[in-house]
Amino acid sequence: MPTPSDTSAAPTDLVELLHRRGQRATPQRLVILRELRRRGRHATADEIRGTVRDELPGTSTPTIYAALELLVDLGLVRRIDAGAGATLYDARTEPHQHTVCRRCGRVDDLDGAVDTAALEQASARAGFNTRAVEVIVSGLCADCAAAVAAA
Amino acid sequence: MPTPSDTSAAPTDLVELLHRRGQRATPQRLVILRELRRRGRHATADEIRGTVRDELPGTSTPTIYAALELLVDLGLVRRIDAGAGATLYDARTEPHQHTVCRRCGRVDDLDGAVDTAALEQASARAGFNTRAVEVIVSGLCADCAAAVAAA
DNA sequence: ATTGGTGCAAATCCTTTGCAATAGC
DNA sequence: GCTATTGCAAAGGATTTGCACCAAT
């Protein structure tokens, strides 16, 4: 069993991570992360702002964005660029991919397996320091495919 | 040898593709595609607009965007969402991936191999109609990694 | 002659900035 | 008390819209 001082593994405790970097555990940051985790699904900054304000009225938009960026930096949250200004934040940590519908913009989780080892090797050869590999499957969702076929 | 009417293979001729859909082959569209192909590298809408205007002065921003969207739709150009409002267009048709530096935003080509068959199967099971699989490797480019280490 | 495309200007959207006030540590 | 963070308001930048004119078929 790990000793109490064994904190070498990547922690998921926001307060601890912040204090390690000399940063502050503000209620805004805690609530934003809790909200992302509660959802268990990717969400836009705007959606997060909506629910965070229920609990913490007055939370400003810049604060939301700053907190999300910080959480991404800390590795607690993934940023997903679903194209055309559709930026999503996701606290789901298991590796997974996303489908993005080109017609309606809908984004869904996809639990597939992608071998990224070769990619990371290739990028390392170019001196690139890989932090994450993002896979976006774009096309038409079931609803839009049906709508296009009917037209 | 193929007969003159054998046009079943995916053509790369813009004029033909447009006429098939009852659309017009305007000089703007032709020049924009030619410019993307000449570069052989991903470019922003703004960069394209710059060079297209050398040849076709007065070409408007909305026209650039409309043409790029059309070319993506026709399958002649790939759209790459490199995050945070960095949208790129790429006429390079061979499958390849991209590295995006989180610090400076630099985007480079990466010629790796990614097995997308399993992904496409998984998405098809969900009724999703895959058109393209985009792989973005994010992290720090060599220059930024050195700069961060020095700091 | 049709009607799809273009150019212009302005609007819209998301995100970031500057700065004084506030609240963690 | 020191200074990181917040909130406010406003700026910023990329992309899209509405509409009249033009040009490819």
Rounded, the Å distance between the CA of A83 and C1' of D16 is 15
**Banded pLDDT at A89 (limits 50, 70, 90):** very high
CB < 8 Å to B123, chain A: 99, 110, 112, 137, 139
Q: Which residues of B touch A87 (CB under 8 A)?
A: 83-84
Instruction: Give the torsion sign (CA, B110, A41, A77, A80).
Output: positive
The protein footprint on chain D, as nucleotides within 7 A of a CB, is 4-10, 13-18, 23-25
Q: What pTM was computed for the model? A: 0.89
Instruction: Give which of B143, B6, B90, B81 is closest to A84, Cα–Cα.
Output: B81
Burial B88-103 (b: 16+ CB within 10 A, else e): bbbbeeeebbbbbbbe
CA A110 / C1′ D6 distance in Å: 37
pLDDT per residue, tens digit, chain B (151 aa), is 544 444 444 567 999 999 999 999 999 999 999 999 999 999 999 999 999 999 999 999 999 999 999 999 999 999 999 987 789 999 998 889 999 999 888 999 999 888 889 899 999 999 999 999 999 999 999 998 888 877 6
Q: Which of residues 24-43 of B touch strand D (CB under 7 A)?
A: 24-27
Residue type, B12: T
Q: Is A69 on the interface with B (CB under 8 A)?
A: no
- Terminal Cα-to-Cα distance of chain A (whole angstroms): 63
Per-residue confidence (pLDDT) for residue A79, from 0 to 100: 95
Give contacts of B98 with chain A, Cβ < 8 Å.
none
Whole-angstrom CA distances from A40 to A36, A70, B17, B97, B143 are 6, 19, 43, 28, 36
| Interchain CB distance below 8 Å, A128 and B135 | no
How many angstroms is C1' of D2 away from CA of A24? 13
Q: pLDDT digit string (tens) for A133-145? A: 999 999 999 999 9
At A8, is the pLDDT very low, low, confident or very high (cuts 50, 70, 90)?
very low
Q: Is A127 on the interface with B (CB under 8 A)?
A: yes
Cβ of residue B147 closer than 8 Å to a chain A Cβ: no
Q: What percent of chain A has pLDDT over 90?
A: 74
Q: Give yes or no for CB of A59 within 7 Å of strand D.
A: yes
Cα gap A116→A96, rounded to integer Å: 12
Of B83, B112, B122, the CB nearest to A111: B122
What is the average per-residue pLDDT within A96-113? 92
Residue with tokens 């307060």, as numbered in its chain: A15
The per-residue pLDDT for A85 is: 76
Distance CA(B29)–CA(A2), nearest Å, equals 64
Q: What is the residue whose two structure tokens read 């390392």?
A: A124
Q: Is the CB of B146 under 7 A from strand D?
A: no
Reduced DSSP (H G I as helix, E B as strand, rest coil) percent helix, strand, coil of chain B, to 5: 40, 20, 40
As a whole number, mean pLDDT of residues A144-150 equals 84
- pLDDT given for residue B10 in this prediction: 54
Residues of B in contact with A118 (CB under 8 A): 112-114
